[in-house]
Amino acid sequence: MSPVLIRQHVESAPPGLLAEWLDTRGLAYEIDRSWLGAPLPDPADYAFVASLGHDRGAGDTHLPAVAAERELLARAVERDVPVLGLCYGGQVLAAVLGALVGPAPVPELGWREVATDDPGLVPPGPWLEWHYERFTTPPGATEIARTPEASQAFTLGPHLGVQFHPEATVDIVADWATADAEQLAALGIGDGAALLTSSHERRTAARGAAFRLFDAFLARADQSNQRLAS
């Protein structure tokens, strides 16, 4: 199998549980740090592309790195290379597929359960969320998970976009809470870390749910790649 391409967009948003899952499954991967401005890789060289979180929005196309991510995911879609979009990555995938992405009326911060139509692909959680924008479901795609505040997951062919962070650990998101202290204060939230309080059991459940999601996405990606090869 070809390696997996992971697009990391800021130092503070590493692949986390996604890299742990890939290591556990014995799958090769490359981490491409988008802020370094290297030439865009060819998505056709990879089994799938995973696009991680960012502190920017999918609509910030005046920024070269955001414009480049949209170009890369558009190329992947055109070439039928499966895309796994996680939060910002899901928003960019949605935008590339023709959906609207914009500010969320209610930011989703901390632990959330989601209503899911396909628990085999997207378990109900608990999931870590940390976003101030949201996507709508792209034309032709199927929304498969949601909260009252936002769509949480969609599929289109082999592609999966999610609004939450299956790759993130509490420690990763705690750094985001610290960085967002001023923004949180404007929302009346004095202690962002309190939103992340969790038991060992909850963290273990979140890791297990993430591995199930990644396994199910990989199965879909493999089926798509086999169809294209036949």
Tokens representing residue 146 in the block: 């949601």
Q: What is the pLDDT of residue 191?
A: 92
Residue 101 host element (H or E): strand 101-112
- Residue 19 burial (10 A CB sphere; 0-12, 13-18, 19+): middle
Right CATH for 4-170+202-229 from 3.40.50.460, 3.40.50.880, 3.40.47.10, 3.50.30.10: 3.40.50.880
Segments of the chain with pLDDT less than 50: none
Name the pTM for this structure: 0.96
Q: Are 75 and 92 in contact (CB under 8 A)?
A: no
Q: pLDDT of 117-167, one tens digit each?
A: 999 999 998 999 999 999 999 999 999 999 999 999 999 999 999 999 999
Distance CA 75, CA 52 (A): 17
Q: Are 26 and 108 in contact (CB under 8 A)?
A: no
